[in-house]
Amino acid sequence: MAETHHFDVKNLFSVKDWICVVTGGGTGIGLMATQALAANGAKVYITGRRVEALENAAKHHNPEFSSGGSIIPLGPCDVRKKSDLEKIVTELREQRGEKHINLLVCNAGVAGPKAEPEEEDAEDLKKKLWENENVEDWQDTFETDVTSVYFTTVAFLPLLQASMEPKGPLERFTSSVITISSMSGLMRHAQGHFAYNTAKGATVHLSKLMSSEFLQTGIRVNSIAPGYFPSEMTVKSSDDRQKSHMPQEKIEEKGHVPAMRGGRDEEMGMLVLFLAKNSYVNGEIIAIDGGVLNVVSGR
């Protein structure tokens, strides 16, 4: 039975002394998750293909206050390669001396090819889609956005399970995986991104499958389905601090964002901490989209 002091925000959302791994942690949503975790006491290892981006993120965003948290670059790591994933796990265990991790955030992803299906004439529609997309781009999108999420999770299962410290006979599911899917995987509007939206739909279903099939390990799996958040994927660039800016006009021109703005970094951080700490949530896909899915058909 909880006393009032148990509801103090520090008790609810502190991840002090946690060990976390975030793929694609040097920019965008991965960096938002990393900042939220480090600001609340976690040691966060960030991975990615670009070592410079990882080091720059750690340089500019390590907590300058006494949270006890830290951001540590790890890599390079191409999550599409099982050998790279094994190398990261081995480095954590043998070089870094980590016996467990509490949280894995599978964030790395790509946007894939784009072709707007606007033509009414079927011949014109075929020509546009046929000439602006190819099988290799589709395969690359699936490999990064779906397949790598599966193998990244599998690679870290032993370290995740090793973090569990039962507090009682019924206390399980204290460690978890958060996959980053997308509202695009829940909607029927392709936005010109057939490959990306299809892949993110697969990421959504993969997250559900893993949450159920990995129950016996005591590891939770949930997914965040973001809307328009500032990242290199959405605005194509980042600044010298690895941060991206979402122009207001980019949201306004969409015409289907009830909140009439992009998502804030802190709002993403709130959801990451919620899913990390609430061990009674398992197998959920939580959209954080400013109300887009109330307007665009989908779920």
**3-state DSSP call for residue 242?**
coil
Identity at 184, one-letter amino acid code: S
Hey, CA dihedral for 131, 132, 137, 139, is it positive or negative?
negative
Residue whose token pair is 């109330």: 294
Active site residue 297: no
CA distances from 286 to 42, 85, 188, 298 (A): 23, 27, 17, 14
Contact by Cβ (8 Å): 212, 283? yes
Find residue 219's DSSP bridge partners.
175
Active site residue 280: no
Question: Per the residue annotation, which of 148, 175, 184, 200 is the catalytic one?
Answer: 200
Distance between CA atoms of residues 204 and 190, nearest Å: 16
Question: What stretches of the chain adopt beta strand conformation (E)?
Answer: 19-23, 43-47, 70-73, 103-106, 175-180, 219-226, 285-288
Q: Which tokens go with 36?
A: 């939220």
Find residue 153's DSSP bridge partners.
none
Question: Per the residue annotation, which of 148, 163, 181, 231 is the catalytic one?
Answer: 181
Question: Per the residue annotation, which of 45, 175, 182, 196 is the catalytic one?
Answer: 196
Whether residue 76 has a cis bond before it, omega within 30° of 0? yes
Please provide residue 158's backbone torsions phi and psi, each rounded to the nearest 5 degrees.
-60, -40
Contact by Cβ (8 Å): 178, 275? yes
Active site residue 196: yes
CA distances from 58 to 38, 103, 230 (A): 10, 19, 19
Residues annotated catalytic, as ranges: 181, 196, 200
